[in-house]
Structure 1
Amino acid sequence: MPTISNKGKNMPESPIRKLVPYAENAKKKGIEVFHLNIGQPDIKTPDIALEAIKNNTVKVLAYSRSEGSEEYRQKIANYYKKNNINVNASEIIVTTGGSEALLFAMGSITDPGDEIIIPEPFYANYNGFSTASGVTIVPVISKIEENFALPPIEEFEKLISPKTKAILICNPGNPTGYLYSKEEIQKLAKIVKKHDLFLISDEVYREFVYDNLQHHSILSDFGLEDNAIMIDSVSKRYSMCGARIGCVVSKNKDVISTALKFAQARLSPPTFAQIASEAALETPQSYFDEVIVEYKDRRDTLIAELNKIDGVKVASPKGAFYCVAEFPVDNADSFAQWILESFSLNNQTVMVAPAAGFYSTKGIGTKQVRIAYVLKKEDLIKSVEILKAAITAYNAK
């Protein structure tokens, strides 16, 4: 009988999606499920993007250029300049979501067996992308007690080996919501230049920053022209997750010319989605101002409610729309499944993402969950009320 590849066997399941069958079964029983498990915003997609699709004059839905249309890349470059990121269209390759941008980046700078250092917990699919690329993730642990701040730079230095090709960060972070300070980026810039490494920064949540803090891109003023690779996407910024448009950005010409070969191999990014994404760049600042106020209110509500539960430990996110909480349960995976299978309050229950899947170190984060505050405040309050009752019931069984 033909056999499956070891790579296929080693591909990790998504901690975000693996509980879906249990949630579907709960719904079949008539139970309402509050989805705190996935970063699918309920914020409306900008009308300008949707209208661009409805009113387009395309007669032949042809391939676009492999690197994305010239017009769209030029407009992205203009958008970046407004954010203190000075790049031009030739330094941008449009991809099918940020996911493909990460795969292109890994494919361009690593060979099988090479290593990438990543602070954990990290976006779970980094595990999948690295497995698909034959890359080994070397984790450096950040701690909930320290709000998931950048671990001491000495911890990174200890892990650098001849196989190390890059350090990868997500800023602001998924799943933690942590926002790296300028000083932390400077420390990373210094170490990657010292050791001739790349610094990859996943910056898809750039707009979502709270408390009057500022996002610092690795392509701003850190002297990383040769070292920096930025990953971006329209998914969260414009609540356009289904568009599947992202980009990989670098001033390193070898990186871009290599990534372009990967882009040519998959032919082109989707044409209609580029039309929508190009139009979305005209979204007025007022849209983001309202969204930021809404997410900040949701964050504050969620954190305040979680802190009312005895034994719960929660980090306070400064960006994105996630937080990691540690529950007083024996195992968050078991709890997350049990609450869908066996618990409801007023015929309602909650779906969370067990956080162990956001770590690559075994045995870490087993009592933690990631919560996405993408629901309105009333639903967040109800969700935490359900979680509080569920924790009590789970520990009593």
Structure 2
Amino acid sequence: MPSISNKGLSMPESPIRKLVPFADAAKKRGIEVIHLNIGQPDIKTPQIALDAVKNNTITTLSYSKTEGSERYRSKLALYYQKHGIDVSAENILVTIGASEALAFVIGSIADTDNEIIIPEPFYANYNSFSVVFGVKVVPIVSKIETGFALPSIADFEKSITPKTKAILICNPNNPTGYLYSKEEIKQLALLVKKNDLFLIVDEVYREFVYDGKQHYSALKEENLEEHVIVIDSVSKRYSMCGARIGCIITKNEILRKTILKFMQARLSPPSYAQIAGEAALDTPQQYFDEVIAEYEIRRNTLIEGLNKIDGVKVTSPQGAFYCIVELPIKDSDTFAQWLLEHFNVNNETIMVAPAAGFYATKGLGKNQIRIAYVLERTILKKAIHILEQALKEYSLNEN
């Protein structure tokens, strides 16, 4: 048969989705699967966004502007201004989700064999996009012992080479839930300016911050306009994962014009989804207050329960709705598959994301999983019980 590309063969499987066939098989056997593997909230989408699509009177569903509708971008600019970020519609490019946003950014700033430095563990698809564009991810390890805090600036300095194009972080972090502080963002700002690099910040979870802490956007840094690129999305903020609407925010005009060429090749972002996204911007603050309070309670429920399981190590996330959990096992890939194929409690089991796929350094994360606490508390408590019982039985089999 004709050969497959090396790029295709090198493309990593998603640790979040690769076990789906085993979950589907379990469901066909009558097993209920509790999905802790994916950040799909059970929070309802704001009705105002759903109604905007449902009640629309469009008669011809035409292309939108390549960079997104001006109305939507203007309204987005007002959202950021409300959060103390000085941007205009011209600084915003609308994309098909944050994934396309990141792909276009990487394609615009990096050539084959260029390097992007990323603290690990990181969102698994960062590895995928690096393969697509032939870019090398240079990981710097953050550790569970420090709560996955930003590695030292000295570690970043040592990793910078003539091929380095950018530093990429997710704030708050997926998969660790770590919230980078204002001081840490400022340290990175000084570093990228000193070395003439881009600072790419994935701020998809910017709304979800706990314990009275505040999110500090890299866009607030002065004299860094040519360096900062922010990625954002409606998916998590409004529980609109299926809308697939994101955006790129940058004041670097040359970069925006370059990204626009990639966007022209895919024509335009979806019109109905932009209508929903525009309407969602009118969501009252009460919605977010209630959602954030609910996630904080879910986090507390999960962390409290996990800390009671022998041999389990976990830190308390400060943002987003994920945590990395270290288990008393050798291989979380094998364990995650075993959960779906061979284990259940009262015909129920759990699906988790093996954490090795969130690292670039081979061998790291082998005994860790990522859990998304996007389900209600009663289900989380049930999932914790299933995990505890599974570990007891699995440890006997593994040893």
> TM-score, structure 1 length as denominator?
0.99
Offset of residue 3 of structure 1: 1.1
Q: Is the 8 A contact 2:120 2:360 kept in 1?
A: yes
For the residue of structure 2 that corresponds to 1:130, the secondary structure is: helix
- Following the alignment from structure 1 to structure 2, what is the Cα–Cα distance between the partners of residues 284 and 112? 45
| RMSD of aligned alpha carbons | 0.6
Q: Is the 8 A contact 1:189 1:222 kept in 2?
A: no
- Following the alignment from structure 2 to structure 1, what is the Cα–Cα distance between the partners of residues 163 and 315? 33
Number of the residue aligned with 2:268: 268
One-letter code of the match for 1:273?
A: A
Number of the residue aligned with 1:172: 172
For the residue of structure 1 that corresponds to 2:362, the secondary structure is: coil
Within the alignment, does 1:15 sit opposite 2:15 as a pair?
yes
- Following the alignment from structure 2 to structure 1, what is the Cα–Cα distance between the partners of residues 221 and 164? 24
What is the 5 A alignment of 1:39-50?
Answer: 39-50=39-50
What residue ranges of structure 2 are gaps of 5+ in the alignment?
none
Q: Is the 8 A contact 1:32 1:348 kept in 2?
A: yes
- Following the alignment from structure 1 to structure 2, what is the Cα–Cα distance between the partners of residues 9 and 65? 35
Number of the residue aligned with 2:196: 196
Q: Is the 8 A contact 2:225 2:250 kept in 1?
A: yes
One-letter code of the match for 1:20?
A: V
Offset of residue 222 of structure 1: 4.2
One-letter code of the match for 1:352?
A: V
What is the 5 A alignment of 1:301-312?
Answer: 301-312=301-312
- Following the alignment from structure 1 to structure 2, what is the Cα–Cα distance between the partners of residues 339 and 316? 25
Q: Is the 8 A contact 1:186 1:222 kept in 2?
A: no
Offset of residue 59 of structure 1: 1.0
Q: Is the 8 A contact 1:192 1:227 kept in 2?
A: yes
Number of the residue aligned with 1:323: 323
For the residue of structure 1 that corresponds to 2:172, the secondary structure is: coil
Number of the residue aligned with 1:250: 250
Equivalent residue pairs, number:
397
For the residue of structure 2 that corresponds to 1:34, the secondary structure is: strand
One-letter code of the match for 2:25?
A: N
Offset of residue 26 of structure 1: 1.0
One-letter code of the match for 1:60?
A: T
One-letter code of the match for 1:344?
A: N
Offset of residue 180 of structure 1: 0.2
- Following the alignment from structure 1 to structure 2, what is the Cα–Cα distance between the partners of residues 19 and 221? 41
Deviations 1:176-231 (A, max 9, x none): 00000001001100100000000000000010000010001110134321100000
For the residue of structure 2 that corresponds to 1:219, the secondary structure is: helix
Number of the residue aligned with 1:57: 57
Number of the residue aligned with 1:112: 112
One-letter code of the match for 2:339?
A: I
Offset of residue 328 of structure 1: 0.3
- Following the alignment from structure 1 to structure 2, what is the Cα–Cα distance between the partners of residues 217 and 257? 23
For the residue of structure 2 that corresponds to 1:279, the secondary structure is: helix
Identity score, percent? 67
Offset of residue 347 of structure 1: 1.2
Q: Is the 8 A contact 2:173 2:179 kept in 1?
A: yes
Q: Is the 8 A contact 1:23 1:33 kept in 2?
A: yes
What is the 5 A alignment of 1:257-296?
Answer: 257-296=257-296
- Following the alignment from structure 1 to structure 2, what is the Cα–Cα distance between the partners of residues 143 and 5? 35
Number of the residue aligned with 2:227: 227
For the residue of structure 2 that corresponds to 1:139, the secondary structure is: strand
One-letter code of the match for 1:374?
A: V
For the residue of structure 1 that corresponds to 2:290, the secondary structure is: helix
Offset of residue 315 of structure 1: 1.6
What residue ranges of structure 1 are gaps of 5+ in the alignment?
none
What is the 5 A alignment of 1:343-382?
Answer: 343-382=343-382
List structure 1 segments (4+ residues) > 6 angstroms apart after TM superposition. Answer: none
One-letter code of the match for 1:393?
A: E
- Following the alignment from structure 2 to structure 1, what is the Cα–Cα distance between the partners of residues 12 and 131? 8
Deviations 1:12-42 (A, max 9, x none): 1000001111111111111111100000000
One-letter code of the match for 1:49?
A: A
- Following the alignment from structure 2 to structure 1, what is the Cα–Cα distance between the partners of residues 322 and 105? 25
- Following the alignment from structure 1 to structure 2, what is the Cα–Cα distance between the partners of residues 396 and 2? 46
- Following the alignment from structure 1 to structure 2, what is the Cα–Cα distance between the partners of residues 304 and 335? 22
> TM-score, structure 2 length as denominator?
0.99
